[in-house]
């Protein structure tokens, strides 16, 4: 069923700037009906009027007609006495004091059914009627105030003749496997068919094998058993930062996983192996590069992880200038080994957006020093501290609005470096420190993830690499190889959203309702009919009415909206539902995706977003020239 307004008297109100940061138009759906109780239940039939008669004297007149022996004068006297006020009141009181007795005679039944009428009974009936009317009026006013839902309208605009805002990578939505997982290769399910299948639904994508442990990795091609030094815990997050080894077989197993899943692998090399003079010792890197080339591995590369934080994690300092030299040297090694076409990304900084601008300053110096060796500027982004994050943080617009601040700050420093290089979020999730337990892998985390994809594409970032596909509290796939909600959201994104980014004009897209526009992915087109995808979320507690006049109000025989709303029974649910179906989304027994059945809406009807929902709307039949090429 579609999410149409089911309330005849529902008000649609514009959102206030204080509550949701929006300034929108106010519209009404239907007119507010007067007398809501009568509208809902039907007009109550009026009670039949009681017959007007002088029942008080009925028996007495019958007695007069039977009393033929009485004189005319006596009859007249008795009639006068019965018509007097005092006599009538006594008769009425006497009649009311009678208690009906059960009787089989018809005459007794008749007398029991006839209740004498007097002025006092009429008064009581009047008071009762007046009381009922007053009560009905009060209930009507009360129900009209209580039951009218407040639905806010969000008016957006779309120019069908617009140019493309950006074109991002076809691997825009990518993900990582943290290098720490390689410490226990036997526990990493890269060889399991189910895991390969889950990853393949997210292709094309990069799979980045990197992280803090990348600067602890030693490659020993022919080793039989993994070795590691005595465990050393990081003072920052407590993870193991001791050196460990992987073999050639281990590297092949990871690469095979990537190939079978349709992914492009990025490998993060160890930059902390240093010579006595402080320069980078490239021996370990040379071994990995040579082995990879001999095995015909098609790889992309990076060097080191969060170098601006080395002093806090490893008690080692490598300056941005020194790292730039190391990158120049690595580019030379790759070219000599036959990896001229492989991309090299860096410098993998964190702490972007901090007051001291630590990450941006490091990246600026790095870019201005290196010899145009990096293809993309990479940095890491998290909203929250996983150890202290609360559920409210995951639906608070202030949390979401941290990302635009970080992107704008990094863009400014890139410009100041004098280099024109696009950005990647090469490691990102909701909360650092492995994620927030019970939150970062639940339905509520999907809002931050989907908004990050939408805003990053709109801002022109080329790739967003989700941390992580597997491992930690922010994993998209659980340890029992069941997909978490963010995996499903990512699948929907891959199905319906292309790399062609469009502009959706909004008064303010930083509140509880956030929407983005792209050309529709080719695989989602029906009979090559052009389409546009609008996607986003409603984090509010009530329905939101979305109006895009250029798209939603055009009468057309072919224009239809395929509507997909993702919801859950609870914000911390590990399951996700489509269009309020009774059962959550699940893979089919053979591992295939279930059918994604849309609600098909007429663009002439209002479109609503359910509370706490993420939505994908494919508007078929919209011809946007830049989407046709």
Looking at the structure, do residues 244 and 275 belong to the same domain, yes or no?
yes
pLDDT at 94 over 60: no
pLDDT at 10 over 90: no
Q: What is the pLDDT of residue 136?
A: 65
Which tokens belong to 494?
């891959």
**Mind giving me the DSSP string for 190-252?**
TT-HHHHHHHHTT-SEEEEEESGGGGGEEE-TT-SS--B-S--B-TTT--B-S-EEE-HHHHH
Q: What is the pLDDT of residue 568?
A: 98
> Which of 370, 269, 273 lies closest to 323 in space, CA to CA?
370
Looking at the structure, do residues 267 and 361 belong to the same domain, yes or no?
yes
d(CA 493, CA 128): 64
Looking at the structure, do residues 481 and 536 belong to the same domain, yes or no?
no
The CATH number that applies at residue 572 is 2.60.40.1180
Which tokens belong to 208?
């980045």
Residue 187 pLDDT level (bands cut at 50, 70, 90):
very high
In a domain, 348, yes or no: yes
Query: How many alpha carbons fall within 13 Å on the CB side of residue 596?
Result: 20
Mean pLDDT of all residues belonging to the chain: 83
Q: What is the pLDDT of residue 171?
A: 98
Mean pLDDT for the stretch of residues 280-304:
98
Distance of CA 323 to the CA centre of its chain: 39
> Which of 148, 125, 130 lies closest to 34 in space, CA to CA?
148
d(CA 324, CA 274): 15
Distance of CA 501 to the CA centre of its chain: 20
Residue 237 pLDDT level (bands cut at 50, 70, 90):
confident
Residue 597 pLDDT level (bands cut at 50, 70, 90):
very high
> Which of 579, 569, 582, 581 lies closest to 609 in space, CA to CA?
579
| Alpha-carbon distance values, 89 to 84, 97, 259, 327 (Å) | 9, 12, 104, 114
Looking at the structure, do residues 475 and 600 belong to the same domain, yes or no?
no
How does DSSP classify residue 524? Answer: G
- Percentages of the chain per state (helix, strand, coil), in multiples of 5: 35, 20, 40
Quick check: helix, strand or coil at residue 297?
A: coil
Looking at the structure, do residues 468 and 551 belong to the same domain, yes or no?
no
Residue 140 pLDDT level (bands cut at 50, 70, 90):
low
| Alpha-carbon distance values, 496 to 303, 473, 499, 500, 535 (Å) | 34, 27, 10, 12, 9
| Alpha-carbon distance values, 76 to 18, 67, 268, 399 (Å) | 86, 13, 123, 98
In a domain, 564, yes or no: yes
Phi, psi of 59 (to 5 degrees): -70, -35
d(CA 158, CA 544): 19
The CATH number that applies at residue 387 is 3.20.20.80
Looking at the structure, do residues 592 and 533 belong to the same domain, yes or no?
yes
Q: What is the pLDDT of residue 233?
A: 85
Mean pLDDT for the stretch of residues 358-383:
97
Number of H helices, E strands in the chain: 19, 23
Mean pLDDT for the stretch of residues 289-314:
98
d(CA 198, CA 200): 6
Regarding predicted confidence, which is higher, 392 or 74?
A: 392
Domain end call among 500, 535, 563: 500
Residue with tokens 């120019």: 159
Residue 228 pLDDT level (bands cut at 50, 70, 90):
confident
Mean pLDDT for the stretch of residues 574-596:
97
Q: What is the pLDDT of residue 150?
A: 81
Q: What is the pLDDT of residue 224?
A: 85
d(CA 42, CA 471): 59
pLDDT at 356 over 80: yes
Do the strands 544-547 and 560-567 form a parallel or antiparallel pair, or are they unpaired? Answer: unpaired
d(CA 347, CA 368): 12
Domain end call among 469, 500, 531: 500
Q: At CA 261, angle to CA 256 and CA 264, rounded to 5? A: 75
**Mind giving me the DSSP string for 358-380?**
HHHHHHHHHHHHS-S--SEEEEE
Phi, psi of 285 (to 5 degrees): -65, -40
In a domain, 67, yes or no: no
Q: At CA 418, angle to CA 416 and CA 423, rounded to 5? A: 80
Residue 629 pLDDT level (bands cut at 50, 70, 90):
confident
In a domain, 130, yes or no: no
Looking at the structure, do residues 286 and 387 belong to the same domain, yes or no?
yes
Which helix H or strand E contains 601, and what residues bound it?
A: strand 599-601
Mean pLDDT for the stretch of residues 386-390:
97
d(CA 176, CA 424): 13
In a domain, 128, yes or no: no
Q: What is the pLDDT of residue 69?
A: 41
d(CA 468, CA 464): 12
Work out the percent of the chain whose per-residue pLDDT is above 70: 76
Domain end call among 465, 500, 535: 500
Looking at the structure, do residues 297 and 310 belong to the same domain, yes or no?
yes
Looking at the structure, do residues 466 and 572 belong to the same domain, yes or no?
no
Mean pLDDT for the stretch of residues 327-337:
98
Number of domains in the chain: 2
In a domain, 253, yes or no: yes
d(CA 241, CA 216): 7
Which range, of 11-20, 35-44, 50-59, 169-178, averages the lowest pLDDT? 35-44
Mean pLDDT for the stretch of residues 121-144:
63
Looking at the structure, do residues 156 and 186 belong to the same domain, yes or no?
no
Give the pLDDT confidence of 420-441 residue by residue, as tens digits.
999 999 999 999 999 999 999 9
Residue 229 pLDDT level (bands cut at 50, 70, 90):
confident
Q: What is the pLDDT of residue 124?
A: 63
pLDDT at 254 over 50: yes
Looking at the structure, do residues 569 and 461 belong to the same domain, yes or no?
no
Assess contact for 350 and 356: CB atoms under 8 A. Answer: no
Mean pLDDT for the stretch of residues 464-476:
98
Q: What is the pLDDT of residue 230?
A: 84
Assess contact for 604 and 559: CB atoms under 8 A. Answer: no
Looking at the structure, do residues 286 and 181 belong to the same domain, yes or no?
yes
pLDDT at 5 over 80: no
Q: What is the pLDDT of residue 417?
A: 97
In a domain, 409, yes or no: yes
Instruction: Tell me which residue range forms the domain holding 541.
Output: 148-165+503-628
């Amino acid at each position: 069923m579609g999410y149409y307004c089911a309330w005849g008297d529902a008000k649609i109100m514009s959102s206030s700037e204080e509550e949701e940061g929006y300034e929108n138009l106010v519209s009404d759906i239907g007119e507010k009906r007067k007398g809501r109780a009568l509208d809902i239940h039907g007009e109550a039939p009026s009670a039949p009027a009681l017959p007007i008669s002088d029942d008080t004297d009925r028996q007495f007149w019958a007695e007069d007609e039977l009393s033929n022996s009485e004189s005319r004068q006596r009859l007249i006297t008795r009639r006068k006495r019965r018509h007097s006020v005092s006599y009538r009141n006594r008769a009425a009181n006497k009649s009311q004091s009678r208690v009906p007795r059960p009787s089989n005679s018809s005459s007794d039944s008749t007398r029991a059914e006839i209740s004498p009428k007097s002025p006092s009974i009429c008064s009581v009936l009047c008071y009762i009627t007046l009381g009922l009317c007053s009560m009905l009026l009060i209930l009507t006013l009360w129900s009209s105030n209580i039951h009218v839902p407040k639905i806010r309208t969000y008016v957006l605009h779309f120019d069908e003749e617009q140019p493309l805002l950006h074109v991002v990578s076809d691997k825009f939505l990518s993900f990582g496997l943290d290098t720490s997982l390689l410490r226990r290769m036997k526990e990493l399910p890269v060889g399991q068919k189910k895991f390969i299948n889950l990853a393949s639904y997210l292709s094309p994508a990069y799979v980045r094998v990197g992280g803090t442990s990348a600067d602890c990795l030693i490659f020993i091609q022919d080793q039989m058993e993994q070795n590691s030094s005595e465990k050393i815990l990081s003072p920052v997050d407590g993870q193991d930062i001791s050196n460990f080894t992987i073999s050639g077989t281990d590297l092949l197993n990871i690469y095979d996983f990537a190939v079978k899943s349709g992914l492009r692998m990025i490998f993060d090399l160890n930059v902390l192996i240093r010579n006595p003079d402080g320069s980078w010792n490239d021996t370990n890197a040379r071994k990995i590069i040579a082995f990879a080339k001999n095995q015909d591995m098609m790889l992309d590369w990076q060097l080191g992880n969060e170098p601006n934080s080395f002093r806090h994690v490893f008690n080692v300092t490598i300056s941005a200038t020194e790292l730039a030299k190391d990158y120049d040297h690595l580019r030379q090694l790759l070219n000599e080994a036959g990896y001229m076409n492989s991309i090299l990304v860096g410098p993998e900084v964190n702490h972007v957006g901090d007051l001291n601008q630590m990450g941006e300053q490091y990246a600026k110096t790095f870019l201005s020093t290196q010899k145009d060796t990096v293809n993309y500027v990479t940095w890491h982004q998290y909203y929250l501290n996983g150890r202290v994050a609360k559920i409210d943080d995951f639906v608070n617009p202030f949390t979401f609005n941290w990302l635009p601040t970080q992107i704008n700050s990094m863009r400014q420093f890139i410009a100041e470096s004098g280099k024109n290089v696009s950005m990647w979020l090469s490691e990102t999730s909701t909360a650092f420190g492995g994620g927030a337990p019970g939150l970062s892998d639940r339905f509520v985390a999907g809002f931050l993830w989907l908004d990050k994809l939408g805003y990053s594409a709109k801002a022109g970032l080329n790739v967003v690499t989700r941390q992580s596909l597997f491992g930690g509290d922010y994993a998209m796939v659980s340890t029992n190889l069941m997909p978490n909600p963010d995996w499903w959201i990512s699948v929907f994104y891959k199905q319906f959203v292309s790399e062609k980014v469009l502009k959706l004009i909004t008064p303010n897209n930083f509140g509880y309702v956030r929407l983005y526009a792209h050309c529709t992915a080719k695989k989602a087109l029906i009979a090559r009919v052009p389409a546009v995808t609008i996607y986003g979320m409603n984090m509010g507690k009530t329905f939101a009415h979305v109006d895009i006049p250029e798209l939603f109000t055009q009468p057309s025989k072919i224009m239809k909206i395929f509507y997909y709303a993702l919801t859950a029974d609870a914000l911390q649910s590990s399951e996700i539902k489509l269009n309020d179906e009774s059962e959550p989304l699940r893979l089919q027994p053979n591992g295939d995706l279930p059918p994604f059945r849309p609600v098909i809406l007429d663009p002439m009807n209002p479109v609503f977003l359910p509370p706490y929902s993420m939505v994908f709307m494919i508007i078929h039949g919209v011809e946007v020239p830049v989407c046709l090429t």
